[in-house]
Amino acid sequence: MAEPEVGLTAKSADFPGEILDGLDRDIRRRGLGVVRLDEPLSNDSFLKLGSSLGTAIPETAPAVQPYVEDGVLLNLRADAGITRDVSLQPFASNPLSLHSEGSGRSLADQPRYIVLMCVEPGDNSASTVLVPMAEVASDTSDEDLRLLRATRYADAPGVPPVVRSQGDHTVFSFRDFQQDPLRWICEADGATQHAVNGALGRLLARMYGARGTSGVLWSRGLLVVIDNTRFFHGRMAGLPRAAARTRHLKRLRIR
């Protein structure tokens, strides 16, 4: 995969300076902002960057509390090795399937932006995969889009449909459940189980085969802001922790 375009190279000591202006320009233009800093921002500056984008979402899950600072800043340290524990997947070396963040939550509870900053790439640094929703939508048939606009997770009341429109963008609220079952409901006229399962299967195939997919190869100081309404994201597999230095990213989720 190609790496995403770096929009700006800057010194962290110059924050905010041109950093916020550059991020705002690129996020508006393509839903993705990439800044190469000489050093990671301090926690205070990182939090200020997040507040310039919106309101940071508190990290409340009990399993992640050892990794949380200031209630909202999550330290993504790849120190959990290989695990099937879903709560530990952000800290594992497993691949992370493609998804939009918070797809099982109401729209009000879903983040608009995910902000990631590399403190230590580690020897087991796994690329973060970015898939543009626009490319997935353009390759999806009108009939599949019709069905998916009326399909939502059955076990998560209040969640949006798999596909919706937001301004001039087609937005997906969906994740690859991998081996876990996906229970859905569909309110489209004439929808059958076979038709909806087929549309979901084709959506997964398009997500993993989309044009324009890129991979973030992390380096110290690299800062990436992802618009959750314009990109799916996931993670390649890394090396087990016993064989490598630990990767460390800092994350904010912004609504």
The pLDDT assigned to 94 comes to 83
Q: Residue 143: CB partners within 8 Å, gap ≥ 6?
A: 199
**Residues facing 151 on adjacent strands:** 186
Tokens at residue 48, please?
């200020």
Cα 173 to Cα 99: distance, rounded to the nearest angstrom: 8
Q: Are 152 and 159 in contact (CB under 8 A)?
A: yes
The pLDDT assigned to 84 comes to 73
**Tokens 């997500």 -> residue:** 207
> Which residue stretches of the chain have pLDDT < 70?
124-125, 239-244
Question: What's the pTM value of the predicted model, to 2 decimals?
Answer: 0.94
How long a stretch of residues is the chain?
255
Whole-angstrom Cα Rg for the chain: 18
The pLDDT assigned to 216 comes to 96
The pLDDT assigned to 79 comes to 83
The pLDDT assigned to 244 comes to 55
Give whole-number Cα distances, 144 to 9, 152, 153, 171, 196, in Å.
41, 14, 16, 14, 8
Closest to 183 in 3D by CA, of 203, 207, 165, 162: 162
| DSSP secondary structure of 148-182 | HTTEEETTSTTPPPSEEEETTEEEE--B--TTS--
Q: Residue 96: CB partners within 8 Å, gap ≥ 6?
A: 89, 90, 234, 235
Domains and CATH numbers, the chain: 8-132+215-254 (3.60.130.10), 134-208 (no CATH)
